[in-house]
Structure 1
């Protein structure tokens, strides 16, 4: 867990590994002592998790890259979709009567950012990237290391790297906005985005 002080607000960032069932326990352990809770998802994504029982998990879109990631991550434990960590946060907040603050772009904003960051050529190369990733050996010793190593591989596609940077900037901006009216916040963020978000927040903290 990482803590940042922005104004009068303490922001705790909890890095989680997407897909691993065991990550739900990490969220449970961190839950309960914060005024507000936030997640690196857009509001549509959060709403889908809230309604996942009626929508059904079969409706969750899974890309070729996600399939390869899940295959590699499975060496560290059981994998489920959608992300057990975020599902746990949604369920805990529902039980506590708390709303989750969405930190990521909404669908329309994400689509616009995708079009701006990822060229047609970069988009059509995803199949080749997934095949290459399937063959690539990963030497990570922990789930966190694997998630970050896989992310760096995917970001060899420069369009995806630009898009990830855009997401990190958006998440950091939302956290700064939240800090204006909250005093203690737990933000659950996928581990591969934490370093970028933290670097931006450090600049905010250092500049007062």
Structure 2
């Protein structure tokens, strides 16, 4: 596109930033950011959101905050990008702290917000905090849990050694658990050496993905 001297617009840059975020290509993302500034698209709110998302997913949370703080306003999408970045990099307490700031700014969380928070709590081993987030989501914000929320809770409880509670969570799910949920459970069985439960869970994993090596490795 550049060789043909076609000038990129905001959609072009958003596509490039999304690609960089997908493969954690931080240096290429920074180069794209430089071009965005040179082209004058750095004040476009959608490009700004893409920049926050790219930097957060690539682990450069300081850069993500720099862009975030320059934005004229913050909606749930931009906040979710920040929280998702903390979740990906195991910063559970930081994610919870910034979720409080989000609420103080009057931004209403959505279901994706709580996926980010529960993931962050799971990675950081914050069981009590994760349980509180789950309760807060369902009782205060009246958000019905989706498959992703249940999987996060199974992972949270399982990693902490609460295997029976995690299995009970799966049994109580109103939707059919997918292979990701079962893998989270199997991974917890591996960590805590529960062979009996692990054999039972492994059967479900291998039924759903018989040709995927990950299940056999676990």
Query: Which protein is richer in strand relative to its size?
Result: 1
**Shorter-chain-normalised TM-score: which range?**
under 0.3
TM-score w.r.t. length of structure 1: 0.23
**Structure number with higher relative contact order (C-alpha < 8 Å, ≥ 6 residues apart):** 1
Q: Rg larger in 1 or in 2? A: 2
